[in-house]
A and B are shown apart, each in its own frame.
Chain A
């Protein structure tokens, strides 16, 4: 409307208002003659006269004050049911806590049910709000199966609201009102709480208010609730910004809010709560689940606080598990933080160990294992001096991380298949992984420019990415940092022990690291020349840093290879053993050492020791595929053939691409089809031997001839192939000659000797066959099952010496089997 038009309307309105209502229509009809639009304008205003009576009669200040009052009533007690908060429609109230109300709501945008937690504003709300937002942001980083997930957060007037995963089930507090919980359930709940805590602590988040009412039990397991929202609080200590624990409470320091029954002594004392305070609370919760009563209680708050500070709850009796768990609670509830478990991961291991020692592995809950692949880095500009890093840096990071239990690292052989830009979906399927480390590398003068990305698979979301410009001198520190960063990003619950191992995995000098990385790259090629070169580089590395355990372990592996190729066998096997012993002395926990040592230990007659060592480790390292691959061999040497197969399945479950020697186990079992099926692509002898057993002699012969010509095999393996070929060709003399040539080469390889003995039996050298089998058994390859079962040995059964041999083998087998059972082998290998 223009002011001019209003100048016409306004006087007409005023005039009409001064008239009697009944006279207005006539007045207006005359006044607006010829301008129906003007008439409508005036009439539309006059029509509102009655309604306008009460309009604007209240002062603006009163209007605003009423709205203000409405808001306050609203946030104080009125349920929001039916109303919208942002794009969430409130369905109903679920509960109410000290700081706010929890509602069930419907997310109109995504079409899903959520929980909305409102936190009432306070007078000094600006500080509290900032704190709450910081907390919401840190929680937003958390995505863990046992943490109630934060979806969204927002502000609504003076109310901050958090949008959370809506949970089904009941709180642990509710569950505990019915008394104690069964031990398996207790253990599972404690483990899940600790898994969540380990992940949170890894993100520098301390819960600070763990108690049964904050532990929610859903059909899918535990969910932790109320991160620091239940209480308010203290600021991050000044000057400790980087390592500071995210403050999760919002009261003024020194003020105690809420139930103090699960509060650690240092919290009662007014100190800043840390991860150890959460461990204390888990101890209290665990105790309560077992005992059916609170660890610390009292008639008044003062009594409770006194108990927390000075009291020791009564010991628990009952089953062996209960006693063992009680021990765990003692350490967790130690008065001094430094006397408790060093981390949630450590306490988790302790709780899990209780379960294992009681043989209860069958009820152990499934755990999510993060599977990682570290791809070779892309070289952006070719450079001879540094290109080796493209392979060896991710390899070193991967093997360092494989010490952590929450992770399975795919082998570098698998990783080498995925060159070029990573396609997360393809890699996820083909390598069976959840996370991909990719990177690029470019030399610029004396510096290296590196980029890294940790990518979620198959989704492809970037978990983090970073760039670094470092000199070669700083590279080994970079590896350490990257390993830690990846562990943190993947929220691996690293125990103190694992942190220590990660730290141990870096050498003292840059030169040592460079030798190590170069050697690793060369040692990938399984050829005598490259192994010799790798050996020299490892030796140089160890001259630089004699304390670098991974280099010792890898040197041991290289010696073993050289020995296998038949070069100076005795001395090299000796050196291999020595190298591994050095590695163990430096770091008893080094995974690659444990896994690589197995073959040497078995060859040196120590298969039972190797088996027990690996079983012991497998109690705690349930997720190390290489460890189980080692068990395949160790168990076979101990004639625990079913266990060997079970170990293979476990290894393959963890890593479908891991190489195991299960084909040889199947051969011992007489399952020749499986032998062929499981035999690797780099085939030499075994598949041919199996083909013969299946009656496919011609095929076996053709393969053996072809392979001999291509010359891939050397040493004892070549001799075995030659002797088999000669036997199949009917040339027993040539067969025997090949065996004699091979004898010096395979002397230390008891399994190869076993195959030799079979050949001897077939060419009627029966005495010699028995004598060889005797050596096989003496050198630690028990083969009792095969002695009875193998058709090629049937001709020996009538010999008295053979019966004695069989008896010896069976007797040793019984001994080893007893120790296998004692070590909990069947449970550890999930054998039913």
Chain B
């Protein structure tokens, strides 16, 4: 598998962004693994607790010396987008199958879990992010990189070419805007 991912990444570096689609099964595999941990009453494990799967994969599977810095930033941005698409698609299909409310929506944080009428799911978040992108594309991007891509502040600063301070300010206001948007839509 390692070889496959390296090949994929090299293909991507040569301009084939579609090669990243091949990572989708890996995302699903990780989803299942983590779900098993939750079901067994365990935390899903340290390695992935704060870092996105694709980020992790990247770090572990790619020989960093072969990849230029800009490539890495670019890769992180694309992987975040990929994660977003994959996870939102999953949530969307799940919601479609459970229309009528048999399923609990995918809640975005535990505190909201107890107030179902205020909870929002990944699909609604995705829609709101799209709306945010029309008025403030960078803030939308910050959320994508952090929430979906699992990027650190420093990585986001690199990817977006702004200061870490700006990232933090964007993150804070983006959350307020999204929360208000999601509250309205519910």
Contact = CB atoms under 8 A, between A and B. Distances in A.
Interface of A: 1-3, 5-6, 10, 13-14, 17, 44-46, 48-49, 51-52, 54-74, 80, 83-87, 90, 155-157
B94 interface: yes
Contact of B176 (A13, A63, A67, A72): A13
B176 A45 contact: yes
A60 B135 contact: no
B69 interface: no
Contact of A61 (B48, B169, B177): B48
Interface in B133-154: 134-136, 143, 146-148, 150
Nearest to B134: A3
Contacts of B99: 86
B102 A60 contact: no
Given A61-B31, A64-B91, A85 B107 contact: no
B176 A61 contact: no
Contacts of B112: 54-55
A126 to B, nearest CB: 14
A60 B94 contact: no
Contacts of B39: 69, 72-73
Interface stretch (B12-20, B58-66, B82-90): B82-90
10 closest cross-chain pairs (CB), A and B: A65-B34, A84-B100, A69-B38, A69-B35, A68-B35, A67-B106, A6-B135, A83-B102, A54-B111, A52-B175
Contact of A85 (B36, B52, B100, B109): B100
B108 interface: yes
A55 B106 contact: no
Interface in B27-55: 27, 30-32, 34-36, 38-39, 44, 48-50, 52-53
Contacts of B103: 70-71, 74, 157
A80 B100 CA distance: 12
B143 A48 contact: no
Interface string B117-128: 000001000000
A302 B102 CA distance: 42
B35 A54 contact: no
Contacts of A58: 108-110
Given A71-B94, A157-B98, A59 B150 contact: yes
A84 to B, nearest CB: 4
Interface in B162-186: 169, 172-173, 175-180, 183
B25 interface: no
- Of A2, A73, A80, A83, most buried by chain B (CB within 10 Å of CB) is A83
Contact of B50 (A14, A59, A72, A87): A59
Nearest to B148: A60
Contacts of A17: 169, 172-173
Given A61-B53, A69-B38, A56 B31 contact: no
A55 B179 contact: yes
B176 A46 contact: yes
B104 interface: yes
A60 B175 CA distance: 14
A641 B178 CA distance: 93
13 contacts: A3-B136, A17-B173, A45-B177, A49-B176, A51-B111, A55-B108, A55-B109, A60-B87, A61-B48, A62-B34, A63-B108, A72-B35, A84-B102
B87 A64 contact: yes
B7 interface: no
Nearest to B27: A61
Contacts of A55: 108-109, 112, 175, 178-179
Contacts of B32: 68
B150 to A, nearest CB: 5
B104 A70 contact: yes
Contacts of B102: 80, 83-85, 90, 156
B166 to A, nearest CB: 10
B161 interface: no
Given A65-B38, A66-B107, 13 more contacts: A1-B135, A6-B135, A13-B173, A14-B173, A58-B110, A59-B147, A61-B30, A61-B48, A65-B30, A69-B35, A71-B103, A72-B39, A83-B101
Contact of A68 (B31, B52, B175): B31
Nearest to A56: B147
A713 to B, nearest CB: 75
B41 to A, nearest CB: 10
A377 B67 CA distance: 81
B122 A157 contact: no
A129 to B, nearest CB: 13
Interface of B: 27, 30-32, 34-36, 38-39, 44, 48-50, 52-53, 83-84, 87, 90-91, 94, 97-104, 106-112, 122, 134-136, 143, 146-148, 150, 169, 172-173, 175-180, 183
A10 B94 CA distance: 35
B122 A60 contact: yes
Central interface residue in B36, B97, B172, by most chain A CB within 10 Å: B97
A64 B100 contact: no
User: Of A44, A59, A71, which is in contact with the most chain B CB atoms at under 10 Å from its CB?
Assistant: A59
B35 to A, nearest CB: 4
Nearest to B38: A69
B44 A10 contact: no
A154 to B, nearest CB: 9
A65 B31 contact: yes
A17 B165 CA distance: 14
B172 A63 contact: no
A45 B35 CA distance: 34
A486 B108 CA distance: 59
Given A45-B173, A56-B175, A71-B94, A63 B135 contact: no
A60 B109 contact: no
Contacts of B101: 83-84
Contact of B44 (A14, A62, A84, A157): A62
B66 to A, nearest CB: 26
Given A1-B135, A60-B122, A86 B100 contact: yes
Contact of B107 (A1, A3, A63, A73): A63
A75 B110 CA distance: 22
Contacts of A5: 135
Contact of B135 (A2, A66, A84): A2
**Of listed A51, A68, A72, A74, residue having the most chain B CB within 10 A:** A68
Contacts of A156: 97-98, 102
A56 B173 contact: no
A336 to B, nearest CB: 47
A3 B179 CA distance: 18
Given A56-B143, A62-B34, A156-B97, A67 B173 contact: no
A67 B135 contact: no
Nearest to B32: A68
A54 B118 CA distance: 14
A56 B134 contact: no
A52 B94 contact: no
A93 to B, nearest CB: 14
A57 B97 contact: no
Nearest to B177: A45
Contacts of B98: 156-157
A577 B153 CA distance: 106
Nearest to A65: B34
Contacts of A54: 109-112
Contacts of B52: 59, 61
Contacts of B35: 65-66, 68-69, 72
Most chain B CB within 10 A, of A56, A67, A71, is at: A67
Contacts of A87: 100
Contacts of B148: 59-60
B80 to A, nearest CB: 9
Nearest to A86: B100
Contact of A65 (B44, B104, B135, B136): B44
Contacts of A14: 169, 173
Nearest to A51: B179
A44 B38 contact: no
Contacts of A74: 103
B7 to A, nearest CB: 24
